Amino acid sequence: MELYGYVTGGVDMSDSNVLAAQVYLNAMFGGHPSWVSLDEDGITGIATMQGIVRAFQINNNVGGVTGSIGPLTIAKFKSLPTISKMNPNDPSNINVCLIQCALFCKGYSAGGITGIYYNAGEAAVKSYQSDAGLVDTGIIDWKVWLGLLSLNWFKINVLGDINVRIIQQNLNRDYSDVIGILPCDGIIDRQTVLSLIGALQAEEGVTTTLINDLNTVNFGDATTANFPASLKIDQNEDYRGYNRIAQYGLYFNGYNPGNFNGIFNSTMQTMVSSFQTFYALKNIGLVIDGEINVSVMKSLLTSKGDTSRLSKACDCATVLSQAQAESLSIAGYTHVGRYLTGYVGPVTRKFMTFDELENIQDCGLNVFPIYQDGGYTLEYFMNPNQGVSDAYLAINAAKRIGVPNYTTIYFAVDFDCYKYQLEDYIVPYFNDIKTIFDDSINDKHYNIGVYGPRYVCKKLYDLEITTYSFVADMSTGFSCNLGYRLPENWAFDQFYEFQFTSYPSFPLDKVAYSGRDQGISSFDSVVEMTPQEMEEDNYSVIVDNRKREYVLKTAEIVGCRSQFITGEYIFNQERTLAEYDFGNINVEVKGKVENRGGSHPDGELYFTIGIDQNGNISTACENAISEIESDINLSDYGINSMIGDTLRGLSLSLKQGDIYVKYTLISNKSCRIDIAIESGDLFPESSVIDDELVVYYGFILSIEDTQDTNYKFSVVIMTIAIFALVVLLMSVNKTYVTEQELAFAIVLFFLLSMSIIYDDEN
Q: Which amino acid is at 270?
A: T
Residue 625 has pLDDT above 90, yes or no: no
Q: What are the CB-based long-range contacts (under 8 Å, 24+) for 357-362?
A: 357/401, 357/402, 357/523, 359/320, 359/321, 359/322, 359/324, 359/325, 360/320, 360/325, 360/336, 361/521, 361/522, 361/523, 362/322, 362/325
Q: Which CATH superfamily, name and number, covers 227-301?
A: PGBD-like superfamily/PGBD (1.10.101.10)
Q: pLDDT (tens digit, 9 = 90+) per residue, 719-760?
A: 555 555 555 555 444 445 555 555 555 555 555 544 444 434
Residue 218 has pLDDT above 70, yes or no: yes
**Closest Cα partner for 399 from 524, 519, 520?**
524
Average pLDDT of span 337-352:
92
Residue 690 has pLDDT above 80, yes or no: no
* Domain boundaries along the sequence of the chain: 16-155, 227-301, 313-528, 550-760
Q: Return the higher-pLDDT residue of 629 and 388.
A: 388
Residue 21 has pLDDT above 90, yes or no: yes
Q: Residue 740: what pLDDT?
A: 55
Residue 402 has pLDDT above 60, yes or no: yes
Question: 313-528 domain in CATH 3.20.20.80?
Answer: yes
Q: Residue 379: what pLDDT?
A: 96
Q: Residue 151: what pLDDT?
A: 95
Percent of the chain residues topping a pLDDT of 90: 66
Q: Residue 7: what pLDDT?
A: 43
Q: Residue 4: what pLDDT?
A: 36
Least reliable range by pLDDT among 257-271, 286-300, 372-386, 643-657: 643-657
Half-sphere exposure for 328 (CA within 13 Å, toward CB): 36
**Closest Cα partner for 485 from 214, 642, 664, 250?**
250
Return all residues near 709 (Cβ < 8 A) that are at least 6 apart: none
**CA quadruple 753, 755, 760, 761: dihedral, nearest 10:** 110
Q: Residue 733: what pLDDT?
A: 44
Phi/psi region, residue 138 (left: phi>0; alpha: psi -120 to 50; beta: rest), is: left
Task: Place 638 in a pLDDT band, splitting at 50, 70 and 90.
Answer: very low
Q: Can you tell me the distance from the alpha carbon of 174 to that of 264, in angstroms, rounded to the nearest whole number?
A: 19
Q: Return the higher-pLDDT residue of 550 and 200.
A: 200
Q: Which amino acid is at 87?
A: N
Return the biggest CA–CA distance within the chain.
99
Residue 278 has pLDDT above 90, yes or no: yes
Least reliable range by pLDDT among 88-92, 361-365, 424-428, 654-658: 654-658
Question: Which pTM was predicted?
Answer: 0.84
Q: Residue 725: what pLDDT?
A: 56
Least reliable range by pLDDT among 263-272, 545-554, 720-729: 720-729
Residue 669 has pLDDT above 80, yes or no: no
Alpha helix ranges (H) inside 558-604: 561-565
The helix/strand count (H/E) of the chain reads as 25, 16
Average pLDDT of span 502-518:
96
- CB of 413 closer than 8 Å to CB of 375: yes
Q: Residue 680: what pLDDT?
A: 79
Q: Residue 403: what pLDDT?
A: 98
Q: Can you tell me the distance from the alpha carbon of 525 to that of 402, in angstroms, rounded to the nearest whole number?
A: 6
Count CB atoms within 10 A of the CB of residue 221: 8
For residues 185-195, one letter each, b for 16 or more C-beta atoms within 10 angstroms of the residue's C-beta and e for the rest, the string is: bbbbbebbbbb
- CB of 297 closer than 8 Å to CB of 319: no
Q: Residue 759: what pLDDT?
A: 37
Q: Residue 141: what pLDDT?
A: 98
**Closest Cα partner for 415 from 459, 371, 456?**
456
User: What single-letter DSSP state applies at residue 661?
Assistant: E
Q: Can you tell me the distance from the alpha carbon of 489 to that of 468, in angstroms, rounded to the nearest whole number?
A: 5
Q: Residue 542: what pLDDT?
A: 85
Q: Can you tell me the distance from the alpha carbon of 689 to that of 19, in angstroms, rounded to the nearest whole number?
A: 65
Task: Place 162 in a pLDDT band, splitting at 50, 70 and 90.
Answer: very high
Q: Residue 639: what pLDDT?
A: 40
Q: pLDDT (tens digit, 9 = 90+) per residue, 597-621?
A: 666 777 667 788 888 988 899 998 8
Task: Place 666 in a pLDDT band, splitting at 50, 70 and 90.
Answer: confident
Average pLDDT, the chain: 87
Q: Residue 426: what pLDDT?
A: 98
Residue 685 CA, chain-centre distance (Å), reads: 31
Q: Return the higher-pLDDT residue of 557 and 227.
A: 227
Q: Which amino acid is at 144?
A: V
For residues 539-552, one letter each, b for 16 or more C-beta atoms within 10 angstroms of the residue's C-beta and e for the rest, the string is: eebbebbbbbbbbb
Return all residues near 734 (Cβ < 8 A) that are at least 6 apart: none
> How far separated are the first and last CA of the chain, in Å rounded?
74
Residue 307 has pLDDT above 80, yes or no: yes
Domains 227-301 and 313-528 share a fold: no
Residue 578 has pLDDT above 90, yes or no: no
Q: Can you tell me the distance from the alpha carbon of 648 to that of 11, in angstroms, rounded to the nearest whole number?
A: 44
Alpha helix ranges (H) inside 106-220: 119-131, 142-149, 162-179, 190-204
Q: Return the higher-pLDDT residue of 546 and 580.
A: 546
Angle of CA points 435, 437, 443, to nearest 5°: 135
Q: Can you tell me the distance from the alpha carbon of 539 to that of 272, in angstroms, rounded to the nearest whole number?
A: 50
Q: Residue 586: what pLDDT?
A: 77
CA distances (Å), 565 to each of 226, 377, 439, 697, in order?
A: 58, 24, 10, 16
Q: Return the higher-pLDDT residue of 548 and 396.
A: 396
- CB of 483 closer than 8 Å to CB of 440: no
Q: Can you tell me the distance from the alpha carbon of 265 to that of 131, in angstroms, rounded to the nearest whole number?
A: 29
Q: Can you tell me the distance from the alpha carbon of 447 to that of 564, in angstroms, rounded to the nearest whole number?
A: 22
Cis before 81? omega within 30: no
For residues 330-348, one letter each, b for 16 or more C-beta atoms within 10 angstroms of the residue's C-beta and e for the rest, the string is: eeebbbbbbbbbbeeeeee
Task: Place 596 in a pLDDT band, splitting at 50, 70 and 90.
Answer: confident
Q: Residue 719: what pLDDT?
A: 52
**Closest Cα partner for 596 from 691, 698, 696?**
691
Q: Residue 597: what pLDDT?
A: 66
- CB of 160 closer than 8 Å to CB of 186: yes
Average pLDDT of span 282-298:
96
Q: pLDDT (tens digit, 9 = 90+) per residue, 462-505?
A: 999 999 999 999 999 899 999 899 999 999 999 999 999 998 99
**CA quadruple 184, 186, 187, 193: dihedral, nearest 10:** 70
Residue 511 CB-density burial (10 A; 0-12 exposed, 13-18 middle, 19+ buried): buried
Q: To which H or E segment does residue 507 belong?
A: strand 506-513
Least reliable range by pLDDT among 211-225, 515-529, 614-628: 614-628
Average pLDDT of span 287-311:
97
Q: Can you tell me the distance from the alpha carbon of 54 to that of 35, in angstroms, rounded to the nearest whole number?
A: 7
Angle of CA points 459, 465, 466, to nearest 5°: 85
Q: pLDDT (tens digit, 9 = 90+) per residue, 103-130?
A: 999 999 999 999 999 999 999 999 999 9
Residue 681 has pLDDT above 90, yes or no: no
Length of the chain, please?
762
Q: Can you tell me the distance from the alpha carbon of 432 to that of 565, in angstroms, rounded to the nearest whole number?
A: 8
Angle of CA points 630, 634, 637, to nearest 5°: 165
Q: Residue 652: what pLDDT?
A: 79
Residue 417 has pLDDT above 70, yes or no: yes
Q: Residue 718: what pLDDT?
A: 53
Average pLDDT of span 56-79:
95
Q: pLDDT (tens digit, 9 = 90+) per residue, 525-536?
A: 999 999 999 988
Q: Residue 659: what pLDDT?
A: 80
Handedness of CA 183, 184, 189, 191 (dihedral sign): positive
Least reliable range by pLDDT among 53-57, 187-191, 279-283, 670-674: 670-674
Least reliable range by pLDDT among 202-206, 346-350, 467-471, 747-751: 747-751
User: What single-letter DSSP state applies at residue 134?
Assistant: S
- CB of 123 closer than 8 Å to CB of 153: no
